[in-house]
A and B are shown apart, each in its own frame.
Chain A
Amino acid sequence: MVTINGKEVSGHTGSSILDYLTQSGYDPAKVAVECDGGVIPRKDYADKVIRDGEIIEIVSFVGGG
Chain B
Amino acid sequence: MPTEEEIFEALDERHTEEIRRKLWDSRVDIAGLGGLGSNIAVMLARAGVGHLHLVDFDVIDLTNINRQYYFIRQLGMPKTEAISEILHDINPYIDIKTENVKITPENYSKIFGGAMILVEAFDSAANKAMLVNAAMEQTPETKIVSGVGLAGYMDSNLIRTRKISDNFILCGDGVNGLESGHHLMAPRVSICAGHQANAVLQLLIEGGKNIR
Q: Kindly identify which residue among A32, A37, A64 contacts B129, using a CB–CB cutoff of 8 Å.
A: A32
Least Cβ–Cβ distance between A22 and chain B, in angstroms: 15
Q: By the criterion CB–CB under 8 Å, are B178 and A62 in contact?
A: yes
State in angstroms the CA–CA spacing of A33 and B140 once bound together.
14
State in angstroms the CA–CA spacing of A62 and B148 once bound together.
6
Least Cβ–Cβ distance between B190 and chain A, in angstroms: 12
Q: By the criterion CB–CB under 8 Å, are B37 and A62 in contact?
A: no
**Count of A-B residue pairs with CB < 8 Å:** 87
Instruction: From B4-12, B96-104, B161-169, B201-209, give the one contacting chain A.
Output: B161-169
Q: By the criterion CB–CB under 8 Å, are B179 and A62 in contact?
A: yes
Q: Does B180 contact A (CB under 8 A)?
A: yes
Which residues on the B side are within 8 Å of A29 (C-beta)?
126, 129
Q: Does A46 contact B (CB under 8 A)?
A: no
What residue in chain A is nearest B36 (Cβ atoms)? A65
Q: By the criterion CB–CB under 8 Å, are B179 and A59 in contact?
A: no
Least Cβ–Cβ distance between B185 and chain A, in angstroms: 10
Q: Does B160 contact A (CB under 8 A)?
A: no
Q: By the criterion CB–CB under 8 Å, are B179 and A65 in contact?
A: no
Which residues on the B side are within 8 Å of A41 (C-beta)?
133, 137
Q: By the criterion CB–CB under 8 Å, are A57 and B177 in contact?
A: no
Which residues on the A side are within 8 Å of B151 (C-beta)?
62-64
Q: By the criterion CB–CB under 8 Å, are A65 and B168 in contact?
A: no
Q: Does B84 contact A (CB under 8 A)?
A: no
Q: Does A34 contact B (CB under 8 A)?
A: yes
Q: Does A7 contact B (CB under 8 A)?
A: no
Q: By the criterion CB–CB under 8 Å, are A37 and B189 in contact?
A: no
